[in-house]
Amino acid sequence: MSSHLKAYRAAILHNLADPAVVGVERSYEYFEDGLLLVENGHIAGVGHAAELLPTLKDVEVVEYRDALITPGFIDTHIHYPQTGMIASYGEQLLDWLNTYTFPTERQFADQAHASDVAGIFLKELLRNGTTTALVFGSVHKQSVDAFFEAARALNLRMIAGKVLMDRNAPDYLTDTPESGYADSKELIERWHGKGRLHYAVTPRFAPTSSPEQLALAGKLLGEYPNLYMHTHLSENRKEIEWVKELFPERSGYLDVYDHHRLIGARSVFAHGVHLCDEECRRLAETGSAVAFCPTSNLFLGSGLFDLNKLEAHGVRVGLGTDVGAGTSFSQLQSLNEAYKVMQLQGKKLDPFKSLYLATLGGANALYLDDRIGNFESGKDADFVVLDYRATPLIAYRMQQATSLAEKLFALTMLGDDRAVKETYAAGQSVHRRD
């Protein structure tokens, strides 16, 4: 075997499929004493340590005690320019945008500021075990350059785009249909498909883009292969009413995007809290995805996401933090809140389904499940080491746990950045807690 081979020993858990489709028991693979083999930044194998160790010769084995290795977490919706305004008090969506968001994003006209925040933002993601994210920039082209430069330096798989916004926002934060198109095109040429980076055409949401701008966003999507489209949908009831006033000729919020050719594979819509059956059906048949953002939906009082309804229609669903309306970079904390969102609707969220949402489900929503999301051979070696003794309370709770499901559930309820011992991207350590 190659001298580039390294082995990581701990308990290892990853999903093979969606528990909602194949049943919980068939949805995952677990090795109590496992070995993860990594070669040249990719997964070379996974299995029981007792079976794999005798086959290895002169291979370095990194051992983690009282730890669980899972795939790196995937965040399907987050705003990096809002890092500095996380935990801003007291508003629902539309007032919150005007009071906090727009003034904060104004600063990203300065590339030095954007670079500083991109560094802080990526550090926070990695401290929380998130190795891939679908990221909003600001309306400024330089915000995206700064973000991609920082992500490339760490060899991260990241998706981002410049916000398109030509109306219903402060003058200092708007572009035009033509400038938004030209700036996006320039960024796509510079960054899309370079290393592990991907570009997302990013209209903020229907109310802040004119029909002309949305039409040009659709044109962009048709001009380059495998671009993403990233926007917001049906987050807040007042927002939905506003969309009806602005686009009276369309049958609903989703239809605005549909009309402008903005839905389909690699189109990701954040929130989708208030979707009708017809919209769910249309999202499913076009292969579009929805990002479930529980901490944000609760923080802004937007509503309770109906995961079961979207799954019944076959819609792809990922998990998003939606920082800065979201209150934590931690996907463990997102799952804590997701469980409660389901409980409030009289439904359950199984711990193995939670892991799926944060890993393989997110990869599936982003059409990256051939590259990330679990430990199949050949995939990118993006993984996280979770510490069963991260806090005194977690350590004590683990002593009482009698099953893997109980341990996993306790980690999602009690865990945060402290539970992340180490994060790896493409086989390289990019965060070490201690």
Q: Mind listing the pLDDT tens digit for each residue in 244-289?
A: 999 999 999 999 999 999 999 999 999 999 999 999 999 999 999 9
pLDDT value, residue 294? 98
Residue type, 93: L
- Helix ranges (H only) for 276-350 are 277-286, 294-299, 307-312, 331-343
Cis link prior to 23 (omega < 30° from 0)? no
Residue 1 has pLDDT above 60, yes or no: no
Task: Collapse the DSSP code of 398 into the 3-class scheme (helix H, G, I; strand E, B; otherwise coil) and give the result.
Answer: helix
Rounded Cα distance between 291 and 76, Å, is 6
The residue count of the chain comes to 434
Rounded Cα distance between 344 and 233, Å, is 22
Tens of pLDDT, residue by residue over 164-182, are: 999 999 999 999 999 999 9
Q: What is the pTM of this model?
A: 0.98
Burial of residue 301 (CB within 10 Å: 0-12, 13-18, 19+) is exposed
Residue 112 has pLDDT above 50, yes or no: yes
Burial of residue 57 (CB within 10 Å: 0-12, 13-18, 19+) is exposed
Any long-range contacts for 152-155 (C-beta under 8 Å, 24+ apart)? 152/194, 152/195, 152/197, 154/122, 154/126, 154/425, 154/430, 155/41, 155/195, 155/196, 155/425, 155/426, 155/428
Beta bridge partners of 59: none
Residue 2 has pLDDT above 90, yes or no: no
* Poorest-pLDDT segment among 92-101, 134-143, 384-393: 92-101
Count of C-beta atoms within a 10 Å radius of residue 226: 11
- Tell me the pLDDT band of 204, cut-offs 50, 70 and 90: very high
Tokens describing residue 51: 């079976």
Burial of residue 190 (CB within 10 Å: 0-12, 13-18, 19+) is middle
Q: What are the angstrom distances between the C-alpha of 365 and each of 132, 203, 265?
A: 12, 19, 9
Nearest 5°: the CA angle 337, 370, 72 is 40
Residue 3 has pLDDT above 90, yes or no: no
Tens of pLDDT, residue by residue over 18-46, are: 999 999 999 999 999 999 999 999 999 99
Tokens describing residue 358: 């944060």
Rounded Cα distance between 258 and 229, Å, is 12
Residue type, 390: A
pLDDT value, residue 8? 98
Of 366, 155, 195, give the one whose Cα is nearest residue 269. Answer: 366
- Helix ranges (H only) for 205-323 are 211-223, 237-246, 253-259, 277-286, 294-299, 307-312
- Tell me the pLDDT band of 85, cut-offs 50, 70 and 90: very high
Of 281, 285, 279, give the one whose Cα is nearest residue 265. Answer: 285
Tens of pLDDT, residue by residue over 146-164, are: 999 999 999 999 999 999 9
Calculate what percentage of the chain has a pLDDT beyond 90: 98
- Tell me the pLDDT band of 70, cut-offs 50, 70 and 90: very high
Rounded Cα distance between 380 and 156, Å, is 10
